[in-house]
Amino acid sequence: MTRELLARNVTALTLLGGLVVIAAAWGFQLIGGYVPCKLCLEQRIPYYAGLPLVALALILMTQKRNGLAVLSLLGVAAIFAYGAGLGVYQAGAEWQLWDGPNDCGGGTAAPNSAANMLQALQSTRVVSCTEASWRMLGLSFAGWNAVASAGLAVLGLIAAFLLNRGRNRATVSA
């Protein structure tokens, strides 16, 4: 298997893994009834930005534009490293290792009348960023996101390295 093909497979795995993670987040919310907090929603942004960039890298690879694909993959790695940092920050706040954000809690838009305010207070479920709503093997949603995001960042770096090494070898032998 050539390095280029291996890089393409690792990139495809990155895309598939990222899609599974964001689908699971949406599944826990929509099917499981877990209401995400502000930081939980922020942790989804790297997926919304990073996954299209992974897809772009795959497209660039098929067009033999490996230099741009490498740059895209490095961007993917940076985006998911940021996402891992957000996950670590929230998980640490959940374990009271440090303070979480002061403004973190769920809610709805501001009510426009006193009657609407009372109704909003009765139906609003405040979700704290510093209390884990679920844990598996000791890790909360934020902890698992840190693991997944770090894994996706590493996969992006591996794919970029493989693709760049393949490019360098092709340049040397040409």
Tell the burial category of 106 from Cβ atoms under 10 Å away from its Cβ (0-12, 13-18, 19+): middle
Per-residue pLDDT of the chain (174 residues; tens, 9 = 90+): 688 999 999 999 999 999 999 999 898 788 888 788 888 889 999 999 999 999 999 999 999 999 999 999 999 999 999 999 999 988 888 878 787 777 775 444 445 566 665 665 555 555 666 666 666 677 778 888 999 999 999 999 999 999 988 555 554 444
pLDDT at 165: 80
Instruction: For residue 170, give the amino acid letter.
Output: A
Tell me how far apart the alpha carbons of residues 66 and 85 are, in angstroms, rounded to a whole number.
28
49/161 Cα distance (integer angstroms): 21
Neighbours of 166 (CB within 10 A): 18
Residue 119's pLDDT is 66
pLDDT for 174 equals: 43
Domains and CATH numbers, the chain: 3-101+131-173 (1.20.1550)
CB-neighbour burial class of residue 173 (10 A; exposed 0-12, middle 13-18, buried 19+)? exposed
pLDDT score at 3? 87
Taking Cα atoms as reference points, which of 52, 42, 86 lies closest to residue 72? 52
Q: How many residues does the chain have?
A: 174
For position 72, what pLDDT does the model report? 96
